[in-house]
Structure 1
Amino acid sequence: MTILNRNATAYVLGHPLRFALQCLAGFRANQGLLLAGAVAYYSLLSIVPLVMLVVVALSHIIDPKELLETIGHYLEWLVPGQSGAIVAEVAHFLDHRDLVGWFLGLTMLFFSSLAFTVLENAMCVIFIHRVAVRRRHYAISAVLPYCYILCLGVGALVVTLVAGSLQVIGAENVRLFGYEWSLHGLSGALLYLLGLSGEVLLLSSIYMVMPVGRLSWQHALIGGVTATVLWEIARHVLVWYFSTLSQVNVVYGSMTTAIVVMFSLEIGATLLLFGAQVIAEYEKVARGDVTPTPPLRTPA
């Protein structure tokens, strides 16, 4: 399917609540929360070494301080309120990067890839109808996480350069109709749109690459926009909750950072997999199948 199916689109637009309930039922049948927990756990293991590898590699091209500032800004989107702790660890590691040997580098690269490997397996469960028809070669699955790490590094480079340019624009003033207008607000809005666009593109690329088989970019974009909108809502709720009502630091003490990061990753992974479920249900409707997804069962 290379374009959006007219009948499926008409069904979704005509029965949005029914389709939403169908997606929720399919997500529950596929044990979506259990899969999200696995993805979140391995993401917690991968996030620090992944950021360290990206920062060390790009610090030869970009000023480390500017790089850390940009990465910290966008990490705040992923782990609201806790990006400072991660950036501090990365900055400390960067100060001692000369002590990093090849074995430690390979170890960090391996742990950085774990989240992508588990995410690919989770996608196989949601897109089980694709796996039943065609399986991916094991060599492709082995190389895929490292290709994503490389792409994230290139993306971080581009974002840092563009963000630096926008910050320069924000420091400028424009004189119009006898008044002097600051571009700081425009710069902030463009930075937010840059991050939002990057989030949609990143999620859409995951939906295009991770599932087995060929997925059209229109379908991937449906999942990417869905997951982005839901995460933006959840992210603002998390920021409000942790800044006003949360007593997590009283309960967990020194473990607060790990617990909050894990909780944020759990919600993010849930919404990411739910976006994949939306695509899977849309494909079912396009095939004329509106029956409920059978529950995932383990062999007896």
Structure 2
Amino acid sequence: MLYPTESMRHVLQHPAGFALQVLRGFGRNQGLLLAGAIAYYALLSVVPLLILSVMALSNLVEQATLLDTVGRYLEWLVPSQSQAVLADVSGFLANGLGLGFVLLGTMLFFSSLAFSVLEKALAVIFEHRGCDDKRHFLVSAVLPYCFVVLLGIGLLLLTFASVALQTLASESIHLFGRDWSLRGVSGGLLYLFGFAIETLVMTTLYLVIPVGRLRLSHALIGGVTAAALWELLRHILIWYFTTLSKVSVVYGSLSTAVVALFSMELAATVFLLGAQVIAEYERLDEKPPGAAVDR
């Protein structure tokens, strides 16, 4: 039988105090500034990454099916703007297949910059560890490209899962003398599968990027916290941009880029907040039993 640790009991007994502790630490570490830098480089690499992923995976899956999956899950990253981004991707695929090497170089360059900023941001948040170990520069150089490959594999798995669940939606079961459609069940499973992938990606980043040893349970706490918080913000953004926002009037043709950058900065902020949750939880673990906890 699993028993809650001292740190877990403290968080459950004082959730507001722990949340305030996380926000104070996030402010001390200039989290919003770090999130802006991450979002800038991520935005520059996301479209080339999507184009190259679809080009590479089109040899395994029909391109229309891939684009449908990309559009569905792109909505998780850039709420209300996925169709505009997908239109740019589709337009390039229809006319610009000869620029593969240029796209590859652009994506690799900006992805490496984004990961470099992300690595330094997490180093600031986890500074309390006092870790003197330095990661070999070759490992830091290879990590972004390994993650790009993993994202491609994840996209392929999402496509297969989407096709399977969409097939399930057309089926029905006969029970209690009636035929019950599985459309609602498949939609719920598709949402849960996407949420699980989102949590897994964040947990993996928390485990791999920071220098030093991190417990899987701590990384999972950060991953679940960040994924749940992003889901809440994502639905608020969708409601805001579809009902109240006048961004298209203010920014005109730049509105897609502005909204995408804003959404990615919010996503980066949520990710760094998840890291701050892990850091504050580690500080609780480091305190001797009975020690006072900073409020």
> AA paired with 1:30?
N
Q: Once the 2 structures are TM-superposed, how far is the Cα of residue 256 of structure 1 from its aligned partner?
A: 0.6
Query: 2:56 maps to which residue?
Result: 57
1:4: how far off? 9.7
- 3-state DSSP of counterpart to 2:253: helix
Query: Could you tell me how far apart the structure 2 residues matched to 1:175 and 1:5 are?
Result: 44
Pairing 1:194-209 to 2, within 5 Å after superposition: 194-209=193-208
What corresponds to 1:44 in structure 2? 43
Aligned mates of 1:146, 1:285 — CA distance in 2: 34
**Cα distance in 2, alignment partners of residues 101 and 204 from structure 1:** 31
Equivalent position of 2:225 in the other structure: 226
Task: Report if aligned partners of 2:47, 2:89 keep a CA contact under 8 Å in 1.
Answer: yes
Structure-to-structure mapping, 1:70-81, within 5 angstroms: 70-81=69-80
Where does 1:48-197 land on structure 2 (aligned, <5 Å)?
48-130=47-129, 132-197=131-196
Quote how far apart the aligned CAs of 1:8 are. Answer: 1.4
* Stretch of structure 1 that moved more, 7-16 or 278-287: 7-16
In structure 2, relative to structure 1, the CA distance for the partners of 1:4 and 1:98 (3 Å cut) is: farther
Q: What amino acid does structure 2 have at the position aligned with 1:58?
A: L
Letter in 1 for 2:122: M
Unaligned runs of 5+ in 2: none
In 2, are the aligned partners of 1:5 and 1:286 still within 8 Å (CA)?
Answer: no
**Cα distance between partner residues in 2 of 1:114 and 1:89:** 23
**Residue identity opposite 1:57 in structure 2:** A
Q: Deviations over 1:237-273 (max 9, x none)?
A: 1011111111111111111101111111111111100
Moved more, 54-63 or 96-105: 96-105
Deviation at 1:211, TM superposition (A): 0.7
Q: Residues 5 and 117 from structure 1, CA distance in 2 versus in 1: closer, same or farther, beyond 3 angstroms?
A: farther
2:180 aligned counterpart, secondary structure: strand
CA distance in 2, matches of 1:257, 1:6: 46
SS at match of 1:246: coil
> How many Å separate the matches in 2 of 1:276 and 1:186?
33
Using the TM superposition, give the Cα deviation of residue 103 of structure 1 relative to its aligned residue in structure 2, in angstroms: 4.4
Q: Are the aligned partners of 2:75 and 2:82 in contact in 1 as well (CA < 8 Å)? A: yes
CA contact (8 A) 1:200 1:228 kept: yes
Matched-pair contact (CA < 8 Å) for 1:124–1:131: no
The residue number in structure 1 matching 2:266 is 267
1:242 correspondence with 2:241: yes
Q: Report the CA distance between 1:32 and its aligned residue.
A: 0.5
Q: Deviation of residue 101 (structure 1)?
A: 4.9
Equivalent AA in structure 2 for residue 183 of structure 1: L
Structure 1 gap ranges (5+): 294-300
Work out the CA distance in 2 between the residues paired with 1:70 and 1:89: 15
Whether the 8 Å contact between 1:174 and 1:183 is mirrored in structure 2 is yes
Amino acid at match of 2:222: G
C-alpha distance in structure 2 between counterparts of 1:278 and 1:133, whole Å: 22
Distance 1:197 1:135 in 2: 32
The answer (yes or no) to whether the contact 1:49–1:112 under 8 Å persists in 2 is no
Equivalent AA in structure 2 for residue 244 of structure 1? T
Cα deviation, 1:89-112, whole Å, max 9, x if unaligned, reads: 111222245412534432333223
1:113 shift after superposition: 3.4
Range with bigger deviation, 172-181 or 96-105: 96-105
Report the residue type matching 1:91 in the other structure.
S
Aligned CA RMSD, in angstroms, stands at 1.9
Q: How many residues align?
A: 291
Moved more, 96-105 or 223-232: 96-105
Distance 1:4 1:91, change over 3 A: farther
In 1, Cα distance between equivalents of 2:252 and 2:209 = 37
CA distance in structure 2 between the aligned counterparts of 1:241 and 1:31, rounded to whole angstroms: 27
Separation of aligned partners in 1, 2:112 and 2:173: 46
- TM-score normalised according to structure 1 size: 0.92
Distance 1:101 1:54, change over 3 A: closer
Name the CA distance, whole Å, in 1 between partners of 2:214 and 2:96.
40
Q: Whole-Å Cα distance in 1 between the matches of residues 84 and 157 of structure 2?
A: 24
